[in-house]
Chains A and B, each alone.
Chain A
């Protein structure tokens, strides 16, 4: 799956390449970057749009003349939401295509599986996975993630529930790398607020959760938090509504996303809260993703992969070199600092020369030394009449 630039641009860059001295010409083939998203398997509901967002960035960048005078070519592979298949796909991206970066891995197990291949071959890996353990791997700087780590996310949401005067809470979700830590954190927060907390870990991908819902609603909690992904959430939200639950519900924005909102009847969703690392909705970056994907409500994962691609391109441009090591070394120079704020790869490329600070579609995109995103603001939304509207920012 390659993404070619248009012919005029191709001729332009070829001419430039011919004119360049020999040493430069060796370097002047296209810059190759890899996307590795789940296109089939359980992550398949997210992967295609994540990939499209990245292709959109590259198309814009190529139309504006490429990076370092070179065209950017994208090779896309499918993780099949399986670490085994993803490892084979990553090997191909690294060894055959020679990509400088792999972007868009979703499942935490997939990210952890391909991570060693990346750091061993000095390839940058940018992911949207939430498992806390990922950035603790000995990756030597080759991992960056745009998803706030799960402990932070849960803490923020737990505190939100307390502020909304919840005394009893419940968490219901499938077994994931962050299920246990989510429950632990919420128990601590609930205890601190003098309230109670119930939790239930179910088996993912069932066609009904009526009995699980009965069990979790027995104590009639004020707030129920959903811990799964989109497919499970549609089933749970229906089952909870049908059970006649009158309390409040909150779920991560990637689990109660636009496709869930579209799928479910309006009354089921009425009053449901979502939260996410605040996308800069007024920013040019966010508008860019809306344009690329042709949607109003951008999925958090797609916003993040848009930022992956933009950051990788800017980092290579700033380093003057199209390698994974260059991206690792200059990622933080373009993503944070006191430079001029830029909100797209194209704008950033134009402004480079001076220092830039990329602020993306998923948020300000600042990274700490182990590759976790920092300074994330969170936005809580409430769904009313079938549309989410901003409720609170923290």
Chain B
């Protein structure tokens, strides 16, 4: 039971990293990234290949994961700077699918749909499964804390305020100068780097990645987490991720209590429960459980 709780908490941490990464992109640059699974995949593959094919330590893999995802994120946002949100949503959705297709078809690089097994985990060989889950949980939650702090600092910085102003004002965004546009690309790259970090965490925790993992279902879960928790709010992103994992996992225990006929119907009921709960949360708290609040002025700025 402890092992299950620790593993679930670790997954919640990975979901929280994903929600935080998306939140940097959305909350700061105002760009919608439905290609989340693609950046998650880039990070997972970069770290997996660095540690298995190249045999480098896990820390190098994590660095490679963040770098590659950030690089691709920067390039994609540079390409799509002029697009309005709705268009960007669909362009990024396509990007995510493209990454999955590449992962499935470029066998020489990614081992194709067989996936990459045996990705090393930190000290995995020396620990019992329970200890390993505890260590993974601690590491992932530390990463969540670090990313949270950095994201909060950025949000409160002058740089964050400029971006937020742009996000909320289309006209200003349209006439914004080159340097401000560069801010947006940087924010997207930064958020994508966090998504890549989540990918690396997933790869080293579960030890196996394959293209099937990066189907849009996961992107859906994370967007639901972010929206339910409160877009633009880092605490909301983490809370939302915890909520979604709680619903995903909790529904397993609720489902047997509902009378139904067969396996497909039971599974369908579980997913109806998941989707329905999220709609209910959004109906009750349309701004998210924790609505976005403008950061309080920094003390130094006060007279």
Q: Which residues of A contact B (CB under 8 A)?
A: 1-2, 37, 39-41, 44, 47-48, 51-52, 76-78, 80-85, 87-89, 91-92, 94-96, 107-110, 112-113, 115-117, 120-121, 131, 133, 137-138, 175-177, 179-180, 201, 203
Contacts and interface: CB of A to CB of B under 8 A. Distances in A.
Contact of B206 (A77, A87, A138, A179): A87
A92 B8 CA distance: 9
A91 B133 CA distance: 11
Contacts of B270: 78
A195 to B, nearest CB: 26
Interface stretch (B100-108, B141-149, B291-299): B100-108
Contact of B213 (A37, A76, A109): A109
Interface in B176-228: 202, 206-213, 215, 217-218
B1 A83 contact: no
A82 B221 CA distance: 13
B215 A82 contact: yes
Which of B114, B115, B202 counts the most chain A CB atoms within 10 A? B114
Contacts of A116: 117, 206-208
Contact of B1 (A37, A77, A96, A131): A96
Interface stretch (B64-72, B155-163, B261-269): B261-269
A175 B11 contact: no
Contact of B262 (A52, A78, A179): A52
Interface in B81-115: 101, 104-105, 107, 112-115
B263 A112 contact: no
Contacts of B101: 203
Nearest to B206: A87
A113 B208 contact: yes
Contacts of A138: 118
A93 B104 CA distance: 29
Contacts of A96: 1, 4
B271 A109 contact: no
A177 B256 CA distance: 34
Interface of B: 1-4, 7-8, 11, 101, 104-105, 107, 112-115, 117-118, 129, 202, 206-213, 215, 217-218, 248-249, 252, 255-256, 262-264, 266-268, 270-271
Nearest to B252: A92
B131 to A, nearest CB: 11
Contacts of A80: 217, 267
Contacts of A37: 263
Contacts of B264: 39-40, 44, 47-48
Contact of A83 (B8, B210, B267): B210
29 contacts: A2-B256, A39-B264, A40-B268, A47-B263, A48-B262, A52-B263, A76-B266, A78-B270, A80-B217, A82-B218, A83-B210, A84-B218, A85-B217, A88-B249, A89-B252, A91-B4, A91-B8, A95-B3, A109-B115, A109-B210, A109-B211, A112-B114, A113-B115, A117-B129, A121-B3, A133-B114, A175-B104, A175-B113, A177-B114
A206 to B, nearest CB: 13
Contacts of B209: 83
A112 B210 contact: yes
Contacts of A1: 255-256, 263, 266
Q: What is the predominant secondary structure among interface residues of chain B facing chain A?
A: helix
Nearest to B11: A88
Contact of A109 (B113, B218, B249): B113
A242 B212 CA distance: 32
B210 A88 contact: no
A180 B208 contact: no
B1 A109 contact: no
Nearest to A77: B252
A107 B213 CA distance: 12
A35 to B, nearest CB: 8
A1 B101 CA distance: 35
B252 A175 contact: no
Which of A37, A92, A115, A131 counts the most chain B CB atoms within 10 A? A92
A109 B7 contact: no
Given A1-B266, A39-B267, A76-B266, A112 B208 contact: yes
A386 B4 CA distance: 48
Nearest to A132: B114
A78 B11 contact: no
A88 B212 contact: no
B250 to A, nearest CB: 11
A321 B151 CA distance: 53
Contacts of A113: 115, 206, 208, 210, 213
B115 A112 contact: yes
A80 B249 CA distance: 13
A44 B264 CA distance: 8
B90 to A, nearest CB: 19
A308 to B, nearest CB: 15
Nearest to B117: A112
A83 B263 CA distance: 19
Which of B7, B210, B252, B263 counts the most chain A CB atoms within 10 A? B263
B267 A40 contact: yes
A180 B212 contact: no
Given A39-B263, A51-B263, 6 more contacts: A40-B271, A48-B264, A82-B215, A91-B4, A109-B212, A112-B210
Contacts of B3: 91, 94-95, 121
A109 to B, nearest CB: 4
Nearest to B3: A95
Given A82-B215, A91-B7, A109-B210, A175 B105 contact: yes
A131 B114 contact: yes
A76 B208 contact: no
A177 B118 CA distance: 17
Contacts of A88: 7-8, 11, 248-249
Given A108-B114, A177-B112, A82 B217 contact: yes
Given A40-B271, A91-B4, A83 B129 contact: no
A175 B263 contact: no
Contacts of B206: 83-84, 87, 113, 116
Nearest to A120: B129
A137 to B, nearest CB: 6
